[in-house]
Structure formats: structure tokens, C-alpha cells
Amino acid sequence: MRLKLDAQQFETRSGAAGNSVRTLAQDAPTKTVRLYLLHVTDVLTWDWVEGLALTYLGDQAWADPLSVRGNSSQRLATNLGWAQRAAYRAVRAVAAARTIKNHARSQFRYVVVTPAN
């Protein structure tokens, strides 16, 4: 049950963050920054897909605990493969975003923001 709850939380938060970053990308000051933010959006989209796949995996394991063993594990393997491919694509998108940032460091500055009390 914990897998499903964690996966749902991962899916929800990455989806919300992806929507926020996509909005930031629309107002990016330069094409380079926009491209970087769109790669970050891709990362969060693939994280959302991974969370969705793991949610399905948790649903299956909860509904049919015997499906995780023996010959009946085909659907489990499919959902796990889906999650692994999404994670791999997220890692590739991170690498692409990092490359952009490293080549255009002057266009990126960070300001520490503290929450208001």
C-alpha cells in the first residue's frame, strides 16, 4: 500500500511542478532559458509518467498479491518496464538541461527565496 501512496504523491507533485515550470518557460527572458525550462518540464513529465506506472503497479500488487510471483507476472513486468523507461527518459532530459545550463551559465542566476511568515 505504501508503494501506491508514494507513487501517487510523486505523480501529483511532479505534475504540479511541471505545470508551474511550463508556465515559467512561456515568460523566459531568452530562448536558451526557455529551452532549459522546457527540458526541466520534460523531466517532470517523465517523472509524472513514472509515478503513474508505479501507481498501477501498486494497484496490481494490492489487488492480486500472487501476480508478483511465477508465470502470472507479465502485467507486473509491463508496468515496471513502463516506469523504468520513464525514469530513463527523465535522466536523459536532466542531462540535456544540464548541458544547456553549463554552456550558458551567465543566463542563469539563483536567488534564495525564503517563505513569508
Nearest to 50 by CA among 20, 22, 102, 91: 91
The answer to whether residue 112 is domain-embedded is: no
**For 63-68, what is the mean pLDDT?**
68
Range with lowest mean pLDDT among 7-16, 28-37, 70-79: 70-79
What would the pLDDT profile of 81-106 be if each residue is shown by its tens digit? 888 999 999 999 999 999 999 999 88
The answer to whether residue 117 is domain-embedded is: no
What is the number of structural domains in the chain?
1
pLDDT at position 69 = 63
* pLDDT at residue 40 tops 80: yes
- The rounded percent of the chain whose pLDDT value lies above 70 is 90
Alpha-carbon separation of residue 70 from 41, 45, 65, 78 (angstroms): 38, 33, 11, 15
Q: Which residue range forms the structural domain that includes residue 63?
A: 2-107
The answer to whether residue 13 is domain-embedded is: yes
Is the pLDDT higher at 98 or at 69? Answer: 98
What would the pLDDT profile of 47-64 be if each residue is shown by its tens digit? 999 999 889 888 877 777
Are the C-beta atoms of residues 80 and 43 closer than 8 Å to each other?
A: no
pLDDT at position 71 = 56
Q: How far is the C-alpha of 15 from the C-alpha of 19, rounded, in Å?
A: 6
